[in-house]
Amino acid sequence: MDIAINQVQANAKRVVVLQLIIAALAAAVFGVVEGGWAALSAGYGGLTSLAVSWMLRRGVLKANEIARDDPQRGMTALYVGAVQRFVLVLAMLGLGLGLFKLAALATVIGFGCAQLAYAVVMKKSAHPASRK
């Protein structure tokens, strides 16, 4: 396996663990402050973020396989994956807020906090020359 693929796999595991912890903390805080429905809403937001991270990992691995044969198609796969993740976020948050009537603030904060986990892991694993 490629060194870059190993790093993607390791970073994906770190992101998932950190997102689960942060989503659980956000749900716990909302549960204590606002009650069970807000806790469920924050958890749903965190799970939405986890779904997006899973899709990103899957898309990067797929794009890497495609790029071995055709680098241009590999880039196209990354762009298509970005659009798919955007649509997934809209759909999941739309379902949660519109159909399930989840608490909006808790849902968005749960999603945002879990997304921060991705940023933290990526910042730590960035190339040393790009860290500041």
**Domain-by-domain residue ranges, the chain?**
3-124
SS3 state at 73: helix
Please classify residue 3 by burial: count the beta carbons closer than 10 Å to its beta carbon, then call 0-12 exposed, 13-18 middle and 19+ buried: exposed
- For the chain, 132 residues long, give each residue's pLDDT as a single digit of tens: 567 677 777 888 888 899 999 999 999 999 999 999 999 999 999 999 999 999 998 998 899 899 999 999 999 999 999 999 999 999 999 999 999 999 999 999 999 999 998 888 878 776 555 555
Cβ atoms of residues 58 and 88 within 8 Å: no
- 67-85, pLDDT tens digit by residue? 999 999 999 999 999 999 9
Tell me the backbone φ, ψ of residue 97, rounded to 5 degrees. Answer: -80, -40
